[in-house]
């Protein structure tokens, strides 16, 4: 055997350091724990910076000044239109296909039309340009697909609206209230980046072969889809719907825990004492529920949260409150995970660019558990 020695086996790669990154820290650089994007605590970013500023921070290394933001935002707004061929495809994919599968195909198609299609995979500047276009166009693709699959006329993007407001407008045809827009923007900020989670890891593995940024994002979308990762925000909503009313919440959760059911929206591989994103979003859920005058889902969520946290020591993760937040915005469950993807694309892209800027092929090892060495018998002697 050559190369580094094969060390201990860590199922699920738990605790394994597979990369260096300057993008996010989920332990907090001041030792206090928590999530930081390029040194900024998520609690300090929340409600102070927009999704556009956050995406700029991840792609360009620091928060933008006014001029940088104006230019960056301008580029995003101008890049929102998607190719006609993709619009046609989004209309022809069967209506019952999950929006995450449609999004995976959409990003693949977008790659063929990117003006930098022939740039080298390691071309840093071209990758940043591609990332900016993907941030703008994935939002349009998700909204268009939603409307096409429901037989509704398309609502083209509006250049006078920012990223969050424009997305909600393209989905519903209505310009959202300021409270809705702000809460949605915040959810995007909180979803933007999270170190070496499964989808980001798969993006980095993909481009570590010197494959291109679009392939990395397609791999990440496929990985995010699963219910143990991004798909959990849809599953969290199904939990609330299954319970149905506040008076049933306590008995429902006790039965589910007795059956050893996995409660979606709870637990985290790294955060064992709580996900800071969930704490921030919960406050906004309560405020939005109040604004729309319906606190039913908060009253269902609360006893479930208390029971899972106290009895299983599993606090809620970001997907638990985000499911309610999106419901209050009249967004349908099927686009909860695509919304996660349209936010996380900035984080994925930043990681892909970081990987390609300092690349080494990702190639771990496995412990062999199959049969020992044995002879190959002619076919007539095989049982
Ligand atoms: N509900 C009930 N029990 C749970 C849950 C849960 N949500 N999460 C973990 N457990 C239990 C497991 O059943 C297992 O119990 P056992 O030892 O008795 O068999 C134990 O805790 C360890 O479970 P693992 O899956 O090995 O723990 P891991 O650290 O890998 O868990 C994970 C992380 C996958 C997120 C898990 O907590 C989970 O499945 N949660 C629900 C899905 C979810 O919300 N995913 C979103 C994560 S955040 C994100 O991706 C943005």
Closest ligand 1 atom number to CA of residue 317: 48
State the distance from the centre of ligand 1 to the C-alpha of 339, rounded, in angstroms: 22
* pLDDT value of residue 223: 98
267 Cβ below 6 A of ligand 1? yes
Question: Which of 13, 226, 262 to mutate to test ligand 1, by most ligand atoms within 8 A of the CB atom?
Answer: 262
318 Cβ below 6 A of ligand 1? yes
State the distance from the centre of ligand 1 to the C-alpha of 52, rounded, in angstroms: 32
State the distance from the centre of ligand 1 to the C-alpha of 12, rounded, in angstroms: 12
State the distance from the centre of ligand 1 to the C-alpha of 268, rounded, in angstroms: 6
* pLDDT value of residue 315: 94
**Contact indicator for 326, 175 with CB cutoff of 8 Å:** no
Report d(CA 175, CA 167) in Å as an integer: 9
269 Cβ below 6 A of ligand 1? yes
CATH fold of 24-177+188-226+338-357, please? Citrate Synthase; domain 1 (1.10.580)
* pLDDT value of residue 3: 57
| Token pair of 28 as six digits | 């907090």
* Exposed / middle / buried, residue 30 (Cβ in 10 Å: 0-12, 13-18, 19+): exposed
Residue nearest to atom 16 of ligand 1 (CA): 260
268 Cβ below 6 A of ligand 1? yes
* pLDDT value of residue 4: 61
Catalytic residue numbers, as ranges: 268, 319
State the distance from the centre of ligand 1 to the C-alpha of 200, rounded, in angstroms: 19
Q: Which residues pair with 40 in a beta bridge?
A: 37
* pLDDT value of residue 1: 45
State the distance from the centre of ligand 1 to the C-alpha of 181, rounded, in angstroms: 31
| Domain at 232-328: CATH code | 1.10.230.10
* Exposed / middle / buried, residue 250 (Cβ in 10 Å: 0-12, 13-18, 19+): middle
Mean pLDDT (10-residue bins), the chain, 383 residues? 69 94 87 87 95 98 98 98 98 96 98 97 98 98 97 98 98 94 96 97 98 98 95 92 93 94 92 90 93 94 94 94 94 95 98 98 95 97 93
Residue nearest to atom 10 of ligand 1 (CA): 262
The contacts of residue 130 (CB under 8 Å, 6+ apart) are: 114, 116, 119, 213, 214, 349
* pLDDT value of residue 6: 62
Residue nearest to atom 49 of ligand 1 (CA): 229
Closest ligand 1 atom number to CA of residue 261: 2
* pLDDT value of residue 5: 61
State residue 316 phi and psi, 5-degree precision: -65, 150
Work out the number of other CB atoms within 10 angstroms of the CB of residue 323: 28
pTM: 0.94
State residue 318 phi and psi, 5-degree precision: -55, -30
The residue extents of the domains of the chain are: 24-177+188-226+338-357, 232-328
Report d(CA 141, CA 113) in Å as an integer: 14
* pLDDT value of residue 159: 97
State the distance from the centre of ligand 1 to the C-alpha of 267, rounded, in angstroms: 5
Question: Which of 267, 273, 310, 315 to mutate to test ligand 1, by most ligand atoms within 8 A of the CB atom?
Answer: 267
Closest ligand 1 atom number to CA of residue 224: 50
12 Cβ below 6 A of ligand 1? yes
264 Cβ below 6 A of ligand 1? yes
């Amino acid at each position: 055997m050559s190369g580094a020695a094969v060390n201990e086996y860590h199922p699920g790669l738990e605790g394994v350091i597979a990369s260096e990154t300057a993008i996010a820290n989920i332990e907090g650089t001041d030792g206090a724990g928590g999530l930081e994007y390029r040194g900024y605590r998520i609690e300090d970013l929340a409600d102070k910076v927009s999704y556009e500023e956050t995406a700029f921070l991840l792609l360009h290394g620091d928060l933008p000044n006014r001029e940088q933001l104006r230019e960056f935002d301008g580029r995003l707004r101008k890049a929102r239109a998607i190719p006609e061929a993709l619009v046609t495809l989004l209309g022809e994919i069967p209506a019952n296909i999950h929006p995450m599968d449609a999004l995976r195909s959409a990003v693949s198609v977008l790659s063929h039309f990117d003006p930098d299609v022939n740039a080298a995979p390691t071309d840093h500047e071209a990758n940043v340009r591609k990332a900016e276009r993907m941030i703008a166009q994935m939002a349009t693709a998700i909204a268009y697909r939603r409307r096409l699959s429901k037989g509704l006329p398309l609502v083209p993007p509006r250049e006078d609206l920012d990223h969050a407001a424009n997305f909600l407008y393209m989905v519903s045809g209505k310009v959202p209230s300021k409270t809705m827009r702000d809460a949605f923007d915040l959810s995007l900020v909180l979803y933007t980046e999270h170190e070496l989670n499964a989808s980001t890891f798969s993006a980095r593995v993909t481009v570590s072969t010197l494959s291109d940024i679009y392939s990395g994002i397609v791999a990440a979308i496929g990985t995010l889809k699963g219910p143990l990762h991004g798909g959990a925000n849809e599953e969290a909503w199904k939990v609330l719907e299954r319970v149905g009313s506040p008076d049933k919440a306590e008995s429902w959760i006790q039965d589910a825990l007795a059956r050893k059911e996995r409660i979606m929206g709870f637990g985290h591989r790294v955060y064992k004492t709580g996900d800071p994103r969930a704490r921030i979003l919960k406050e906004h859920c309560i405020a939005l529920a109040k604004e729309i005058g319906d606190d039913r889902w908060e009253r269902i969520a609360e006893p479930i949260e208390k029971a899972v946290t106290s009895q299983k020591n599993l606090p809620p993760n970001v997907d638990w409150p985000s499911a309610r937040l999106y419901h209050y915005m009249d967004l349908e469950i099927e686009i909860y995970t695509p919304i996660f993807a349209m936010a996380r694309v900035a984080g994925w892209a930043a990681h892909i660019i970081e990987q390609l800027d300092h690349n080494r092929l990702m190639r771990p090892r496995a412990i062999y558990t199959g049969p020992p060495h044995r002879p190959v018998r002619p076919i007539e002697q095989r049982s």
